Amino acid sequence: MTDSLSPRQLLEKSDLIFCEDEIRAVMLRLAAEITRELAESEPLVLCVMGGAVVFTGQLLTLLNFPLEFDYVQASRYHKGTSGQQLVWKVTPGDNVRGRTVLLLDDILDEGHTLAAVQERCLQAGAERVVIAVLAEKDTGLDKPIRADFVGLQLPNRYVFGCGMDVHGWWRNLPSIYALKD
């Protein structure tokens, strides 16, 4: 089982899915697409912590328009490899009221976390919630939400790197890997 392996063994027993150069090209493309859509709206950018911190940090420096930044924290994975009950640590604040919100997350997997965050933003008075994700996993299942901007399409495998973790490890990798089936 993968949770009994050391972090280095996990990486050694994984497949490279997207390399660092491919990730950089995706960031540039997403920044251009988001800029075309939101440059005039002066959005509030919300990062879904902790997975989206790497994606957000790389993307923000490429957005050439005024924005405000904040974060939310909700998770279903809790260092595991399958979703559980959603746990909120930080909910959207009053600063979403009347605003266009750009919600950034690392991955659109089953979609339950992003759907809950979007709903909370709208309940808190956001005028509009636009979603950008580094990657979307092809689960073959219907999802309760769609992202407006998607960087990469991923296979239906457990992936990590670029902010996504495996048992709490390897968020810091500049590439995306998948555990072997």
* Residue 109 appears among annotated catalytic residues: yes
What CA–CA distance (Å, rounded) separates 161 from 166?
8
Q: Which of 15, 109, 148, 165 is catalytic?
A: 109
Each as own residue / partner, the long-range contacts of residues 29-36 (CB below 8 Å, 24 or more positions apart, any chain) are 29/151, 30/59, 30/132, 30/134, 30/149, 30/151, 31/59, 31/62, 31/63, 33/149, 34/59, 34/63, 34/102, 34/130, 34/132, 34/149, 35/63, 35/64, 35/65
Q: Which residues are catalytic?
A: 109
